[in-house]
Structure 1
């Protein structure tokens, strides 16, 4: 995720990996375990589990900030260096999204069709009572919905494909990827009909998709992180503890707790403290120790995208076919939770090895194809010009 010549921040890898884990745990809790009010004699450990296991949506806010920092920051660096190219940018972004999205959609179809055939019932009808699955899955498995999700219009012109509810945030990401550079190119360069056309398209789709604007504001906070990092770079060395990071981290955790205690659902209540925390991490150049922790963070961050897109339909299948009903969080429930977490991560890691790990290889192949096509077109153009003049 680090740009060339820019030190890799493994602390951000850890944050990203934890956010992906929070999404997975949240869906495990809601799909496989009864609601807190329906649980009986769960004890203190159970209460703690129910309290800390429902931060899936909050984790997506963290993803938006990190995405703005990395993707928006790379756009600004390319504009500053004069190397910006829409073709290269769209190739990188779309290949990055599709290389996992396409197999994830096919896997969703596989698990959902198999689950409908073997079990069906309340889990797939959306009547089990879980907040995370309230649709008739069979009605969301058509070709039109599949195509709609492939072009990132889920929750805008159609539902998410099958049972894979987490796909909603991918539409947000895609449109943020378009909106920001369209406006940034116009502001930085201020020339060309193409720049004005792209900016007009961005503004038009912002008006058409107002539900995405709040998340875009949070995404732009991530871009602000990149701007501040450039203007006020981190010191090469630091003596003592990173007090600003520790204090801002405590404030961020306090915001997380407050959202649960007081049922606050405004994303900015968490987004702003998270922004401050990430800024302090970057400003104080916080890195992970020992080295083993750094390697683990980088590893789990590496396939967090695969985990995000593949876990939901798999969990729903196991809940419907393997259990048939939601269970209580007791001693057996702890074993189920641990086993399902291992299964979800192993499953996602296989998807990563097969697809996500090859992202750069695919991007390089596309660039070679594009450059070869450009090279082939150039002689043809020259030949055509010669024939005309002769």
Structure 2
């Protein structure tokens, strides 16, 4: 255990260095790739409608199918940062469910609630004016909204309205709950607490089902990176480049498997294997970059533009992920009602896609200024309210004891 503890301390310190810039860039890029896949599916003609597509057009279609692999990137990064937070607080004897839940829920809800409201507005516009019909009745609408609010999509309800990307939030949320329960179960403590945490962990696993439980293994790859020993053997450009190419290979494999082009039998087990390959290769890349940038610090960074760009796109990545599809959906149905059937892939249409991606990023940036960047303010406000309630509760108990004493 001491060995893992020392490995964790080293990894924790490395994450404060220059590698955090690369991870910010990776997070922002993953959100943009998800946007590109969903935008490309509405903007361009389907692959089957093209005649004699060139190698460049095939590559373009492949680039617009990297949204799925990018969600796996989010899982690994989430596992890295959330497990880091949990392990650090437990090792420092500062673990608190109250603090943890406030941190996690404020991070999610400060963007999720406005995003759900935006989805309602966008879907209503598309339904009333542009022939979009997502719901069977109002009951289904309300049921999905509430279910997504409590992260029950993929379990009891579907993703709310047109906002398909919400599916991954239920994965994330239940992993947030499952991981600390497992870690606390393994810690030395009273048997009754072990039983409680065992019950919680099993209840969550039964709730989320087999598929979501499998993908928890990919999420745990992020934690694995924190426990690996430090090494100096990977501090060279060749190793970094090779690991980056491995991640790219894994990500390009996924759409080929998903479309049945890489394997004859289209099986979801094949897809999970590829997703696990993406997760493991990304974990390796993060580990190598952590070790390779061990002596680099952010203040000495020469590429200030890269650091600023990474921080910028990371700052609105969550907002971009949650709001892009309802906007794309309503615009698509408006365009379709006015005769739009899709663009042929060429230089002009690619430029149009780039401009639309930039426009969507601008919208997400503005949205994030009133949501995502306010997370710490909301978090501090909630903690302040809880502390006041706790203080008033303790004060009331003391007053009651004093009254009973002097009766």
TM over 0.5: same fold?
yes
The alpha carbon displacement at 1:272 in A equals 1.6
Give the length in aligned residue pairs: 371
Report the secondary structure of 1:82's partner residue.
coil
Please say which of residues 356-365 and 6-15 is displaced more in the overlay.
6-15
2:322 is equivalent to residue 306 of structure 1:
no
Report the secondary structure of 1:166's partner residue.
helix
Q: Deviations over 1:90-128 (max 9, x none)?
A: 0010010000000000000111110111211xxx35xxx
Report the secondary structure of 1:152's partner residue.
coil
Please say which of residues 50-59 and 202-211 is displaced more in the overlay.
202-211
The alpha carbon displacement at 1:354 in A equals 0.9
- Give unpaired runs (5+ residues) of structure 1: 126-135
**Which of 307, 320, 328 in structure 2 is aligned with 1:315?**
328
In structure 2, the residue matched to 1:56 is: 67
Say whether the 8 Å CA contact 1:137–1:163 is kept in structure 2: no
Say whether the 8 Å CA contact 1:75–1:181 is kept in structure 2: yes
In structure 2, the residue matched to 1:169 is: 168
Say whether the 8 Å CA contact 1:70–1:226 is kept in structure 2: no
In structure 2, the residue matched to 1:384 is: 400
**Which of 347, 351, 354 in structure 1 is aligned with 2:367?**
351
Identify if the C-alpha distance between structure 1 residues 29 and 375 changes in structure 2 by more than 3 Å, giving closer, same or farther. same
- Give unpaired runs (5+ residues) of structure 2: 1-10, 264-269
2:56 is equivalent to residue 45 of structure 1:
yes
In structure 2, the residue matched to 1:7 is: 16
Q: Deviations over 1:59-100 (max 9, x none)?
A: 011110000000011100000000000000000100100000
Say whether the 8 Å CA contact 2:122–2:327 is kept in structure 1: yes
RMSD of aligned residue pairs (Cα, Å) = 2.4
The alpha carbon displacement at 1:242 in A equals 3.5
Say whether the 8 Å CA contact 1:66–1:222 is kept in structure 2: yes
Q: Deviations over 1:238-294 (max 9, x none)?
A: 997443222211222222334436256231122221221111111212777511011
Report the secondary structure of 1:279's partner residue.
helix
The alpha carbon displacement at 1:159 in A equals 0.8
The alpha carbon displacement at 1:357 in A equals 0.6
In structure 2, the residue matched to 1:216 is: 216
In structure 2, the residue matched to 1:297 is: 310
Please say which of residues 284-293 and 336-345 is displaced more in the overlay.
284-293
In structure 1, the residue matched to 2:116 is: 105
The alpha carbon displacement at 1:194 in A equals 4.8
In structure 1, the residue matched to 2:239 is: 244
Report the secondary structure of 1:162's partner residue.
coil
The alpha carbon displacement at 1:387 in A equals 1.6
Identify if the C-alpha distance between structure 1 residues 80 and 319 changes in structure 2 by more than 3 Å, giving closer, same or farther. same
CA distance in 1, matches of 2:235, 2:145: 53
CA distance in 1, matches of 2:238, 2:199: 44
Say whether the 8 Å CA contact 2:15–2:290 is kept in structure 1: no
The alpha carbon displacement at 1:215 in A equals 1.3
Q: Deviations over 1:194-237 (max 9, x none)?
A: 55324312212202322211210001111111222xx53x77xx
CA distance in 2, matches of 1:377, 1:280: 50
In structure 2, the residue matched to 1:89 is: 100
In structure 2, the residue matched to 1:133 is: none
The alpha carbon displacement at 1:388 in A equals 1.8
Say whether the 8 Å CA contact 1:252–1:273 is kept in structure 2: yes
2:327 is equivalent to residue 327 of structure 1:
no
The alpha carbon displacement at 1:29 in A equals 1.1
**Which of 277, 287, 291 in structure 2 is aligned with 1:279?**
287
Please say which of residues 379-388 and 192-201 is displaced more in the overlay.
192-201
Report the secondary structure of 1:326's partner residue.
coil
Identify if the C-alpha distance between structure 1 residues 240 and 284 changes in structure 2 by more than 3 Å, giving closer, same or farther. closer
In structure 2, the residue matched to 1:114 is: 125
**Which of 252, 277, 282 in structure 2 is aligned with 1:269?**
277
CA distance in 2, matches of 1:258, 1:338: 24
The alpha carbon displacement at 1:185 in A equals 1.1
The alpha carbon displacement at 1:193 in A equals 3.7
In structure 2, the residue matched to 1:152 is: 151
CA distance in 2, matches of 1:139, 1:219: 36
CA distance in 2, matches of 1:199, 1:254: 38
The alpha carbon displacement at 1:378 in A equals 1.8
What TM-score, normalized by structure 1, do the two folds share?
Answer: 0.88
**Which of 243, 250, 254 in structure 2 is aligned with 1:255?**
250
The alpha carbon displacement at 1:347 in A equals 1.2
Please say which of residues 262-271 and 56-65 is displaced more in the overlay.
262-271
Please say which of residues 282-291 and 79-88 is displaced more in the overlay.
282-291
